[in-house]
Amino acid sequence: MIAFFNTQQFKDAFNSAKLILEYDSDFRDVKEKATFYEDKMKEGAAGFQIDPKMRELIGDHAIGRYKYVGKIGSGGMGVVHKVQDLKTDEIVAMKILREGLSSSGKAIDRFFREARIAATLHHKNIVNIFDYNISNNYGQSYIAMEFIDGPSLRDVVEQKFSETVDISSQDVLQALDWMSQLCDALDATHKKGIIHRDIKPDNIMIGVGNIVKITDFGIVHIEEATFTPTGALIGTPRYMSPEQVHGGRIDARSDIYSSGIILYELLIGSPPFISGDISYQQVNVTPTAPKEICPVIPESVNKIIMKCLEKSPSDRFQGALECKQLVDEAYVRLGGDPKRLRQESQIKLREQREKSASPATVQEGMLPKGFQQPSPLPIHGAPSGGGASHGNKIRTPSGSWDLSGIKESDSTFGDMDSDLDMS
């Protein structure tokens, strides 16, 4: 009885106490213990709530942890649902790998990659990852992330330009504000040697207070590492840099090119190239300056966009902060509130101080709630069924992953659509 209690097997402890009481109802303090074990058993049952819908979606991982709220949207890789985390009582967005992809090594690798890399990025303009599980079994691979109660930039553009093609000075200021935040987030990722490679309106959410949140890190590129076969085309052509189209070596300036296209689209209603051989145009055709299409666009903003869209990386902004500086200057000159920039600078300074006070490597205490470090056994937050864990490395169907930092090896990814249809 005591042994069962010490291992928290309260039901067995309770049954043992009942057997003793049947033999001798007055034996020592067994009656009190039986009542105690019964209460513990009921507490455990109450804590392990089972939502049938969540059980259907992710199996036993849902027991006592998640409650279903509703569907958000679906895309090429997975379906996103709105769920309640019962442990924290918070609403989260859960991305579940689409049926049919659980047997794909490339899909599992990409899903694991998105979860693991995004979880190392802690920035107010990047969606937080709280929990994940990766498996070869259908319904077992999911990523639980910060729920953003707002539209994507794709939704913003479509709604805005379905009503009118005119833009106001406020529209310009709002676009610059979002661009500034985007540059901040990209600076944080680039400093870790991470290139997003799929910056587009679909992957940028707008949260409460007009806060930009970058999501979908499924096809990121890590500098000094090779994931993609030479010449492979990965990304979304309308937002790809010329060097990305070539399938050659890319760096932070590729994401800057894509960001310029987003600012272009926020003010014009569409990217520079929307028909014909888009890949050829990205490499060889100079886009029409946005000011030629919409004369009310300030020249300072026009110059920022066109510098982002230079064909040669050496002619673009050489870093996200260099771009942000001109964006912020234009924002203030055009009537934007300078207090926003001061508040933003204070937040950034505080983040830098917290970072400098923390270890350089990712430690267990720095990871989001529910995110577990690797161990020699298959664990929550690591591939199961299709991968084996070895110390700080996990082997997935296509290669070995070093989980001690953000360094990876021998992983290749095919060209898979990552669009998320929020409609």
- Any catalytic annotation for residue 155? no
Q: 3-state DSSP call for residue 20?
A: helix
- Indicate left, alpha or beta for 57 from its phi (over 0: left) and psi (-120 to 50: alpha): alpha
Q: Label residues 328-346 b or e (16+ Cβ within 10 Å = b).
A: bebbeeeebeeebbeebee
Q: Under 8 Å CB-to-CB from 333, ≥6 apart: which residues?
A: 300
Q: How many residues does the chain have?
A: 423
Q: Which amino acid is at 134?
A: I
Q: Directed axis angle between helix 169-191 and helix 338-356, to 10°?
A: 10
Residues 6 or more apart whose Cβ sits within 8 Å of residue 302: 289, 290, 291
The active-site residue out of 51, 198, 255, 328 is: 198
- Rounded distance, CA 378 to CA 380, Å? 7
- H or E stretch at 199: none
Q: CB–CB of 272/309 below 8 Å?
A: yes
Instruction: Enumerate the active-site residues.
Output: 198
